Amino acid sequence: MDCIVTGGNVKVLAKAIHSLSRIGDELYVEPQEDGLALRSVNSSRSAYACFLFAPLFFSRYTVHSGHTFRCKMAIKSVQAVFRSLASLEKTVEKCHIELDDQNNRLTFTLHCKHGLMKTHNLSFQDSESLQAVFDKDSYANVFRSHPRLLVDTVMHFPPSLEEVTVSVSDERMWVRNHVEEEGDQSKAMLTELCLASDEFDHFAVQAHNSVTFCLKELRGLLVFAESTGLPMSMYFDEPGSPVVLSVTDSVLEGNFVLATLSDDPNHRKKNNSRRTHTRPPPPPDDFMNDDIDSYLIAMDTSVAPGSSATGPPTPPLSQDKDTQPPNKKFCSLFFGSVLPPSSQMSTQPVSSQQVLASDSEDDVQ
Amino acid sequence: MKFRGKIIDIACLNHFTRVITTISKLTKTCVLRLTPDNLFFVLSGKVANGGVSMWCELSQANFFDEYQMEGVSPEDNEICLEVTPENLSRALKTIQNAKAVKVKLTKKHCPCLTIAAELPTLSSISRVVTHDVPVDVIPRRLWNEFKEPSMPDFDVSIYLPPLKTLKNIVDRMKNLSNFLVIEANLSGEMNLKIETDLVSVTTHFKDLGNPPWGDDASQDGGPSQSRDPEAMAQARVDIRKLQQFLMGQQVNPSKAMCNIVHERGRPPDSAA
């Protein structure tokens, strides 16, 4: 792999990396024919982000076809290369990223003003591909707006707020903080914001759904979108299926995919207040600490044509029992196989090929 | 029990927010008393509060464009709530550009003060933000704990120097000692003193001015007319409590005065 980023795009790349760092600790790098994919996932596999930079984003972009190179590295090391955004803009003229095969290093060279060159040799680990399965274009509800709208919305919530619930009707969107119904409910402050459809550039609702997801992981994307001014799109479907936020322009595409709380029909409470959406019963503890096995779906590297594409994407739940753990969990995201190069190689698979497989992290590509 | 108020003036909203933010820096919880004419934020001087008490009186007409309340009963036409001022402050801080703000007493999952703001937008429909701040209703039998405290017979009353200056000095003195002596006289002079084994430091202020109390201002004749204007009245206070008071100040009062009861067990009262 060998590519060069010049001018203002260096800062864009840096910002993308910083926003990925809000999701997980590792950066997955995969140079593909249709562009460079940078991805990250959180430890509980409930948040995933991917930036795909098209070849045109770079002033030079060469990928060795045939030898698929994939790696992951500590995101903090990459952030260290692009540490100060302000000085990047002023001093860096171009950034050269090159794979040093012999020493197993990825070399980042910043060509700065006055002939100064900063070279960072970062070590990496081979990794399998990280690709979440989602098909945002099939989701029932789609919205697009200037990022300012979402930033202004999020501002009303405290920075420490974890979970937020978004509900929609034909003309309105409500955003409120999600409070667990057990525990210290009586002392929690509830905040709700109501947005009208004409504040959005695009507001298409097919299902009056309500989804709950973690706001913290989204803030990285908000910062990126606001600084680049790119319109943000939001896609969601039923509770349980992920919410996807994207920014797109001609040379890059960023997708942040967050798992949402799933609704267990046995426990669904109908809320007959003026807001006619349902309030799903919340998980008892911090979902990050829930038993990972019950909803962790790991990545699969093999092409499995006849593998069981099982039905609904809910993890095995103890629905028959009335005991702990309760039936409310964040549905994890699905990570699908990497299909052969001939088919799609974008950030999202074309079809909903959902594959459940055991954790194959030990596999070398 | 009903309460509904509406603020439409941005300056009023801003001032109201700053008062509440100041209070939130002083205490985690306090009592809000609502009467037809006033709002009171009260912190009663119990040992649990470290002896600090606070009484804040706001005239509702200065802030609210509309204000309606119905107390617990016609004879006790008041509402007493225990509130967390930090929640109120947080809710108010983000809506400073609102077109209108309504504050209501509501019952959601528990009694709440609901703050609903209509925010300006480019579209024809306003954005509405609602904050439900949980409160506890205080029963009538406890109301006498929150009556206006009587001003004790003080010996000297003096206007304070600019609070910022005072804060700077107290911040530095805090590093040297836990206790500070405030003394002042009726000639507009005030000293802040600390004394340790190694060092003593005194800061002198003069020409501060003394508020005119007159005969009706306090019980038992107040500061005795025959008091020597040069004689200092002293009180020893915990520096940290004083610093806490100074740190939270966001209201920029036009006048802050300090009344000192000479060498009593109580710390002085400060009224702004």
- pLDDT per residue over A144-179, tens digit each? 999 999 998 988 888 777 889 999 999 899 999 887
- pLDDT of residue B70 exceeding 80, the answer is yes
Whether B104 and chain A come into contact, CB under 8 Å, resolves to: no
CB interface of A with B, residues 116-175, below 8 Å: 155-156, 158
Tell me the C-alpha distance between B159 and A199, whole Å.
Answer: 52
A107 forms bridges with which residues in the sheet? A98, A121
pLDDT band at residue A287, thresholds of 50, 70 and 90? Answer: very low
| CB-based contact A203:A210 (threshold 8 Å) | no
Q: Report CB contact under 8 Å: A156, B108.
A: no
- pLDDT of residue B270 exceeding 60, the answer is no
Q: Pick the residue from chain A with its C-alpha nearest to B109.
A: A186
Instruction: Give A104 or A357, the one with higher predicted confidence.
Output: A104
pLDDT at site A97: 92
Dihedral (Cα; B159, B160, B163, B166), 10-degree rounding: 170
The rounded mean pLDDT for chain A is: 74
- pLDDT per residue over A311-354, tens digit each? 333 333 333 333 333 334 555 555 543 333 333 334 444 333 34
What does the pLDDT average to over A197-210? 90
Nearest to B121 among A187, A191, A199 (CB): A199
- pLDDT of residue A220 exceeding 80, the answer is yes
Q: Report CB contact under 8 Å: B109, A194.
A: no
What is the three-class DSSP state of A216? Answer: helix
Q: Pick the residue from chain A with its C-alpha nearest to B135.
A: A187
Decide: pTM greater than 0.80: no
pLDDT at site A79: 92
In B149-238, beta strands by DSSP E: 156-159, 179-184, 190-195, 200-205, 233-238
- pLDDT of residue A11 exceeding 80, the answer is yes
Longest alpha-carbon distance in chain B: 69
Whether A189 and chain B come into contact, CB under 8 Å, resolves to: yes
- pLDDT of residue A39 exceeding 90, the answer is yes
| CB-based contact B173:B201 (threshold 8 Å) | yes
pLDDT band at residue A232, thresholds of 50, 70 and 90? Answer: very high
pLDDT at site A330: 56
Most confident of A194-208, A261-275, A331-345, B115-129: A194-208
pLDDT at site A264: 52
Q: Testing the interface with A: which of B131, B135, B136, B137 to mutate, by most A Cβ within 10 A?
A: B131
pLDDT at site A183: 59
Q: How far is A185 from chain B (nearest CA, A)?
A: 8
pLDDT at site B214: 57
Measured CA distances, B57 to A141, A327, B54, B142 (Å): 50, 50, 10, 19
Number of Cβ pairs < 8 A linking chain A and chain B: 55
Domain boundaries defined on chain A: 1-357
Contacts of B250 (CB under 8 A, 6+ apart): B18, B19, B21, B22, B25
pLDDT at site B234: 87
Whether B20 and chain A come into contact, CB under 8 Å, resolves to: no
Do the strands B179-184 and A92-100 form a parallel or antiparallel pair, or are they unpaired?
unpaired
pLDDT at site A48: 92
B33 forms bridges with which residues in the sheet? B40, B80
Q: How far is A205 from chain B (nearest CA, A)?
A: 18
Tell me the C-alpha distance between A88 and A307, whole Å.
Answer: 48
A17 phi, psi to nearest 5 deg = -65, -40
What single letter denotes the amino acid at residue B54? Answer: M
pLDDT band at residue A219, thresholds of 50, 70 and 90? Answer: confident
H runs (alpha helix) in chain B:
10-26, 85-93, 163-174, 239-247
| CB-based contact A62:A1 (threshold 8 Å) | yes
The rounded mean pLDDT for chain B is: 83
- pLDDT of residue A245 exceeding 90, the answer is yes
| CB-based contact A102:A46 (threshold 8 Å) | no
The order of strands in the sheet holding B190-195 is B200-205, B190-195, B179-184, B233-238
Most confident of A98-102, A114-118, A320-324, A357-361: A114-118
pLDDT at site A277: 36
Nearest to B130 among A155, A192, A196 (CB): A192
Exposure of A10 in the CB half-sphere (CA atoms within 13 A) = 26
Tell me the C-alpha distance between A251 and A49, whole Å.
Answer: 17
Whether B193 and chain A come into contact, CB under 8 Å, resolves to: no
- pLDDT of residue B218 exceeding 80, the answer is no
- pLDDT per residue over B107-162, tens digit each? 877 888 999 999 988 777 888 999 999 999 988 888 877 777 777 777 888 888 88
| The CATH fold of domain A1-357 | Proliferating Cell Nuclear Antigen (3.70.10)
What does the pLDDT average to over A112-120? 91
Instruction: Give B58 or A297, the one with higher predicted confidence.
Output: B58
- pLDDT per residue over B241-259, tens digit each? 888 888 777 667 777 777 7
Q: What is the C-alpha R_g of chain A?
A: 21
Q: Pick the residue from chain A with its C-alpha nearest to B110.
A: A186
